[in-house]
Structure 1
Amino acid sequence: MTRMPLGISVLACAAALPAFASDATDARIELGPRPAYLISTMDDSPLKDALEACATMEPVRTDFSIAHRGAPLMFPEHTEQANRAGALMGAGIMECDVAFTDDKELVCRHAQNDLHTTTNIIATDLGAKCTTPFTPANGDEKAQVECRTSDITLAEYKTLNGKMDAGNSSATTVEDYMNATANFRTDLYATTGTLLSHKDSIALFKSLGTKFTPELKTPSVEMPFDGFTQEDYAQKMINEYKDAGIPASDVFAQSFNLDDVLYWIKAEPEFGANAVFLTEPAEGFDPQDANTWLEDFAALKAAGVNNLAPSINMLVVNDGNDIVASNYAKAAKEAGLDLISWSLERSGPLATGGGWYYQSVTDAINTDGDYFEVLDALATDAGVKGVFSDWPATVTYYASCMGLN
């Protein structure tokens, strides 16, 4: 790789950056050994030189670094512990994926129906209340289980313990089903996983000095749910920020459902101005071929959508010599849309291919240090304004080194 990031010299990058108070306790941002390890595995390049020259810098909190469900590479996602870890690593924006309970209270879960893989519910008496209680695998039949936030009340939800997101479909016991953490993650920090309501997350993130990016998750239940409409759901999420006195400028509400985004633009224009339309590649998607794209960028912009958040594999490609912005990314930017991308360090080591998120650049990556090559392409070529990561320290290091806000 030969790109020199953002035109920043090695000397400029080596300069120490000012300290940033992470919250009222003035805690120092801690990046740990992983960024240095990743840099050490990079091929020689101007980017590697620039990143190495920043080794003694004081990292700063940056909105470019967005904590994806906290820090789930090592901590149970959407728990207090994961979020504190993400904030400690300098994430400027924190995420609560929003689902609702049986009593229509909002909670932080990646999906309404993931309690069986992200909590200990099936090992508790509440497992009997699941939509599909655990049934062990039998011969060729996989284990069956589905537990939804809407199966239980908020009070019941808060008795559960968060765990690393995983489930063993071949399990014949509850214990075996729960013991399935991917080998590139760890259970070292999974002994305690305090679950959060959406209101809890607002209070926590405020105390940590970060901004907010809640994602309204698609319900697993038919809507309306006991009279609770999709619009009620979308409005309730915004109301909880208003009730907490959080300025709209600090909230980046997300949804894969364009109707949710358009609702916020119309009903809550101050919040709608920051709303984020999430998108992922449909079958047959080619980031270089406009004929395969579902998004009409000009129409989105005309409707008031300002932020588009595609997955990494939609925004960068391998041009044969380098990782560069895709035609999709260029067209979205030309239409006036700001780009955010997801999710770095999500789908396994780059040294073994990196998985789904890197399928558009597989031939250009060979070491885990190429996370920084991908980050640099997203920042310099695609011009994204933020990157979600399962380990925010990596993005914070890059952003602090390159002077990104």
Structure 2
Amino acid sequence: MFHPLRAALRPAIRTFATAVFVAALAAPAAAETGVGGIGSIEIGPRPFHLVDQMKDGPLKDELARCEGPFAAKAFSISHRGAPLQFPEHTREGYLAAARMGAGVIECDVAFTKDRELVCRHAQCDLATTTDILARPELAAKCSEGFTPADPASGRKARAKCCTSDLTLAEFKSLKPKMDAANPDATTVADYMNATPRWRTDLYVDRATLMSHKEYIALVKSLGLKFTPELKAPEVAMPFDGDYTQDAYAQQMIDEYKAAGVAPSDVYAQSFQLRDVLYWLKAEPAFGAQAVFLDDRDETGKGFDNMKPETWTPSMQELADQGVKILAPPLWMLVTAQDGKIVPSRYAEEAKKAGLGLIAWSLERSGPLKDGGGYYYQSVKPVIDRDGDTLTLLDVLARDIGVIGVFSDWPATTTFYANCMKLD
């Protein structure tokens, strides 16, 4: 149990932490100094709010007693920056994640028309993550221009604008926005104006898109680690005649080598096993900790996280091919049993095969009062409040032994890792 005086003071403590955090965000780039290149770590009020929302019990009591100072932790992985509030893959989002103690920062890597690498969640997401549709000269270059919704036929609004439609200079001229689109829109303005209520547009005007090289320079200056994800191309490969998948995979690694980044600081990722196997063969120093992102639940082949016969390849087959780290969505690693969240068969078999585990992505589901959606689907019967975020995180860390967790708001994973004295 926590002391009543501490409980009484907590609102004032949180207000002070919030003020410090906001001040840190407003600090100029020249202030990116100190331990880890970022100065002191400030987690703000959200982790404490989540503790307050937890079900009563020993874990809530333990976390309620946890106090700073807090340090950056490799367990805390920034998912696309800090997209709970900041446009994803922007300089400002990366800095927010670093100031919240993320020890590892992610850049999803796509390529432009002139074969430069940039940070974008998907190669063809520019219509939902930038202002490209409001820029006629650039919208004209989209693979598919804006098509309005047609209620009579049931057609949904859509557009397809890819990084490979633009040069790096054109890409950099775009302004980012929160990732969202209104499928029922009949105008471009309505299509773009779709940010969920539980996110915010407060920081959109100040956000800056990043090339992969710029991301490397920033994260290196902060003294943090990298997790670049090679995105599956949405255009035919080889691109433009001779740009192959292997050339794309190699270019990403080459940019770390050119920047003098140690392979041990880079966790290269891909949903395509072929990329991980390529790095293991062509760049073994980087391949040694490459991450195979597992989305086999989305292939329509009957994946079940409790039935090994539905996993192809098996855990042991992955290990035998040299894969060291496996990263599935949160729900694959857990199941509900006797009213509690417990490790799934998938998690148990992965550990048995000697695979390290990373989970994605915490705090991406919005409010959890209705069960948490996709990321919590295997434990929906026992999820009914935002505090269950920390309950799930505890099972992932303590019972399963994951080596890291992606979060859309890294303060939460930083808080937990410090409280539990994780790396």
What TM-score results when the alignment is normalised by the length of structure 2?
Answer: 0.89
Q: Equivalent residue for 2:259?
A: 244
Q: Equivalent residue for 1:127?
A: 139
Q: What SS class does the counterpart of residue 200 from structure 1 fall into?
A: helix
Q: Equivalent residue for 1:9?
A: none
Q: Which of 46, 69, 72 matches 1:34?
A: 46
Aligned equivalents of 1:174 and 1:401: distance in 2? 46
State how 1:290-301 maps to structure 2 within 5 Å: 290-301=308-319
Deviation for aligned residue 1:135 = 2.5
State how 1:2-81 maps to structure 2 within 5 Å: 21-24=34-37, 27-54=39-66, 56-81=67-92
State how 1:130-169 maps to structure 2 within 5 Å: 130-139=142-151, 140-169=154-183
- Work out whether residues 370 and 383 of structure 2, in 8 Å CA contact, stay in contact via their aligned partners in 1: no
Residue 46 and residue 21 in structure 1: after superposition, are their counterparts in 2 closer, same or farther (change >3 A)?
farther
CA deviation profile, 1:354-391 (whole Å, cap 9, x unmatched)? 11000011111111001000000000111100000000
Deviation for aligned residue 1:352 = 2.1
Q: Which amino acid aligns with 1:264?
A: W
- Work out whether residues 150 and 186 of structure 2, in 8 Å CA contact, stay in contact via their aligned partners in 1: yes
1:286 and 2:301 equivalent?
no
Aligned equivalents of 1:100 and 1:265: distance in 2? 22
- Work out whether residues 22 and 29 of structure 1, in 8 Å CA contact, stay in contact via their aligned partners in 2: no
Q: What SS class does the counterpart of residue 266 from structure 1 fall into?
A: helix
Q: Which of 193, 207, 225 matches 2:239?
A: 225
Aligned equivalents of 1:228 and 1:75: distance in 2? 33
Aligned equivalents of 2:317 and 2:264: distance in 1? 24
Deviation for aligned residue 1:316 = 0.9
- Work out whether residues 22 and 90 of structure 1, in 8 Å CA contact, stay in contact via their aligned partners in 2: no
Q: Which of 234, 247, 252 matches 2:249?
A: 234
Aligned equivalents of 2:309 and 2:199: distance in 1? 38
1:271 and 2:271 equivalent?
no
- Work out whether residues 84 and 364 of structure 2, in 8 Å CA contact, stay in contact via their aligned partners in 1: yes
Q: Which amino acid aligns with 2:243?
A: F
Deviation for aligned residue 1:141 = 2.6
Deviation for aligned residue 1:192 = 2.3
Aligned equivalents of 2:379 and 2:413: distance in 1? 19
Q: What SS class does the counterpart of residue 364 from structure 2 fall into?
A: coil
Q: What SS class does the counterpart of residue 161 from structure 1 fall into?
A: coil
Q: What SS class does the counterpart of residue 349 from structure 1 fall into?
A: coil
Q: What SS class does the counterpart of residue 98 from structure 1 fall into?
A: strand
Deviation for aligned residue 1:257 = 0.3
Q: Which amino acid aligns with 2:43?
A: L
Q: Equivalent residue for 1:396?
A: 414
Q: Equivalent residue for 1:366?
A: 384
Q: What SS class does the counterpart of residue 232 from structure 1 fall into?
A: helix
Aligned equivalents of 2:189 and 2:206: distance in 1? 17
CA deviation profile, 1:131-188 (whole Å, cap 9, x unmatched)? 0111222333322310000000000000001100001121122111110011221111
Aligned equivalents of 1:127 and 1:150: distance in 2? 13
Deviation for aligned residue 1:23 = 3.6
Aligned equivalents of 1:314 and 1:220: distance in 2? 26
Q: Which amino acid aligns with 1:43?
A: K
Aligned equivalents of 1:324 and 1:294: distance in 2? 23
What TM-score results when the alignment is normalised by the length of structure 1?
Answer: 0.93
Q: Which amino acid aligns with 1:71?
A: A
Aligned equivalents of 2:43 and 2:230: distance in 1? 30
Q: Which of 170, 192, 196 matches 2:184?
A: 170
Higher mean displacement: 285-294 or 171-180: 285-294
Q: Which of 90, 111, 115 matches 1:104?
A: 115
- Work out whether residues 254 and 261 of structure 1, in 8 Å CA contact, stay in contact via their aligned partners in 2: yes
- Work out whether residues 94 and 105 of structure 2, in 8 Å CA contact, stay in contact via their aligned partners in 1: yes
CA deviation profile, 1:101-136 (whole Å, cap 9, x unmatched)? 000000000000000000001111201100011122
- Work out whether residues 142 and 165 of structure 2, in 8 Å CA contact, stay in contact via their aligned partners in 1: yes
Aligned equivalents of 1:22 and 1:32: distance in 2? 19
Q: What SS class does the counterpart of residue 191 from structure 1 fall into?
A: helix
- Work out whether residues 22 and 61 of structure 1, in 8 Å CA contact, stay in contact via their aligned partners in 2: no
Q: What SS class does the counterpart of residue 359 from structure 2 fall into?
A: strand
The answer for unaligned runs of 5 or more in structure 2 is 1-32
Higher mean displacement: 31-40 or 188-197: 188-197
Higher helix share: 2
Deviation for aligned residue 1:22 = 4.6
Deviation for aligned residue 1:287 = 1.6
Q: What SS class does the counterpart of residue 350 from structure 1 fall into?
A: coil
Q: What SS class does the counterpart of residue 126 from structure 1 fall into?
A: helix
Aligned equivalents of 1:23 and 1:119: distance in 2? 31
CA deviation profile, 1:272-295 (whole Å, cap 9, x unmatched)? 001000002243322222122233
Aligned equivalents of 1:355 and 1:73: distance in 2? 16
CA deviation profile, 1:233-273 (whole Å, cap 9, x unmatched)? 00000000000000000000000000000000000000000
Q: Which of 165, 170, 193 matches 1:179?
A: 193
Higher mean displacement: 294-303 or 386-395: 294-303
Q: How many residues align?
A: 384
